[in-house]
Amino acid sequence: MDQETRLHSGPAPGGDTHHGNDANAEDEHGSTAPHGGVYAALDLGTNNCRLLIARPTGDGFRVVDSFSRIIRLGEGVSATGRISDAAIARAISALSICRDKIKQRKAKRLRLIATEACRAAVNADAFCDAVAQATGIRLEIIDRETEARLAAIGCSPLVDTAGRGAILFDIGGGSSELVRLARDPARPDLPPRIKAWMSIPLGVVTLAEQFGGKVVTPDIYAAMIDEVAKHVAPFAAVNGDDLGGLHLLGTSGTVTTLAGLYLDLIRYDRRRVDGIWMSGEELTATIHRLRGMSYHDRAQNHCIGAERADLVLAGCAILDAVRAAFPLTRLRVADRGLREGMLVEMMREDGVLGAV
């Protein structure tokens, strides 16, 4: 990816996300959908399986269906190097729902990606073959550079138009990406460009497996931060100066969970979370509150739940390492990312979104 890649602005999608896939996805991946066609973007991550199905609306898109399920595809991969049989079964179950949704919505323009768990696993090819045989879905394993670029495209509409740019971070299950986005001071009306990016081989699943996620003492939490900081330091050394006019922009379950806690939501509401601003003090107080909860308390919280209760503190440690490396005073929360980036990119390739 060119260090000065220009990003296109994307829409502010509505609703939660779903997954789906077409039996002929591999053949149709390169096809062009006519204006008004249905697009599907599938993100099979280390922890989650997510789908977004949408129609273009001129200068954006309208979500028509979505799906999200925690499947823990990468569970144990850091130790064994393999995707387990149980994880494969969970993935195929979720992807079968995705296939049915894509067929039901008659989506013909698809992008169906897999990320870090499949990049790391020695049996990734066998896994993809098993998925194709069981569901008809042909997964595209993307590299980290592509992952960072798609996340940036998906989140760039949330970069403050009055600022100089943002430090975007995407905390995943098996890896985390950092992107410095910069606006052209001569053309502040244009979307930001990618000035630099990096990916580290640590996410909430890998970090929690390494240090433990159910009982996290202050010493364990500090050790998590230190481990992440080692990976972030080279990027911060080059890109951590001249931060005036920048803000943090976070896309992950970690930051959306923190926003939900900050808002004291009885249950998670994407419409209230996506795009919210949090100050450094508000983030610190919310993380402190979360760290004070027991595992049981976290599991019972509607913004966290039992499936993420052992992962969320690892995510907070990654966030705190990023905050230490880039001491910015504001964070904007994004409940959007790779899927939105894929949709925008496909629609722009097809010429069905208005030019910037």
- Candidate from 22-26, 76-80, 248-252, 256-260 with smallest mean pLDDT: 22-26
All CATH 3.30.420.150 domain ranges of the chain, comma separated, are: 156-334
The pLDDT, as a whole number, for residue 354 is 60
All CATH 3.30.420.40 domain ranges of the chain, comma separated, are: 25-144
More confident residue, 325 or 5: 325
Indicate whether 10 pLDDT > 50. Answer: no
Q: What's the CATH class of domain 156-334?
A: alpha beta
Please calculate the CA angle 143-53-16 and round it to the nearest 5 degrees: 95
Indicate whether 25 pLDDT > 80. Answer: no
d(CA 289, CA 67): 30
Asked if 105 and 64 count as a contact pair (C-beta separation under 8 A), the reply is yes
Written as six digits, the tokens of 235 are: 């990027």
The pLDDT, as a whole number, for residue 1 is 38
Task: Note the residue count of the chain.
Answer: 356
Inter-helix orientation angle 218-239/312-325, to 10°: 40
d(CA 283, CA 113): 32
Question: Exposure of 145 by Cβ count < 10 A (0-12 exposed, 13-18 middle, 19+ buried)?
Answer: middle
Say how many C-beta atoms besides its own lie within 10 A of residue 324's C-beta: 14
Task: Report the chain's mean pLDDT, rounded to a whole number.
Answer: 89
The pLDDT, as a whole number, for residue 33 is 47
The pLDDT, as a whole number, for residue 112 is 97
The pLDDT, as a whole number, for residue 282 is 98
Please calculate the CA angle 130-136-139 and round it to the nearest 5 degrees: 70
Strand 165-171 and strand 246-251: the pairing is parallel
pLDDT band at 190 (very low <50, low <70, confident <90, very high): confident
Compute CA distances 223 → 264, 314, 321, whole Å. Answer: 29, 11, 11
pLDDT in tens, 37-69: 999 999 999 999 999 999 998 788 999 999 999
The pLDDT, as a whole number, for residue 185 is 84
pLDDT in tens, 226-276: 999 999 999 999 999 899 999 999 999 999 999 999 999 998 999 999 999
d(CA 162, CA 173): 32
Written as six digits, the tokens of 274 are: 């996506």
Side chain identity at residue 30, one-letter code? G
The pLDDT, as a whole number, for residue 8 is 36
| Region 320-332 average pLDDT | 97
The pLDDT, as a whole number, for residue 102 is 97
Asked if 242 and 195 count as a contact pair (C-beta separation under 8 A), the reply is no
CATH number for the domain formed by residue range(s) 25-144: 3.30.420.40
Q: What percent of the chain has a predicted confidence (pLDDT) above 70?
A: 89
Indicate whether 121 pLDDT > 50. Answer: yes
Which single residue is written with the structure tokens 């260090």?
A: 3
d(CA 332, CA 248): 6
Compute CA distances 322 → 57, 182, 214, 284, 319, whole Å. Answer: 36, 18, 22, 13, 5
- Candidate from 35-39, 67-71, 102-106, 163-167 with smallest mean pLDDT: 35-39
d(CA 315, CA 317): 5
d(CA 212, CA 210): 6
Which single residue is written with the structure tokens 């991946």?
A: 29
The pLDDT, as a whole number, for residue 19 is 28
Nearest partner of 128 among 93, 100, 88, 90, judged by Cα? 88
Compute CA distances 342 → 46, 109, 220, 228, whole Å. Answer: 18, 11, 37, 28
Strand 39-44 and strand 109-114: the pairing is parallel
d(CA 204, CA 221): 13
Asked if 288 and 294 count as a contact pair (C-beta separation under 8 A), the reply is no
Give the DSSP letter string of 152-206. Answer: HHHHGGGS-TTSSEEEEEEE-SS-EEEEEEE--TT-TTSPPEEEEEEEES--HHH
Indicate whether 26 pLDDT > 60. Answer: no
The pLDDT, as a whole number, for residue 15 is 32
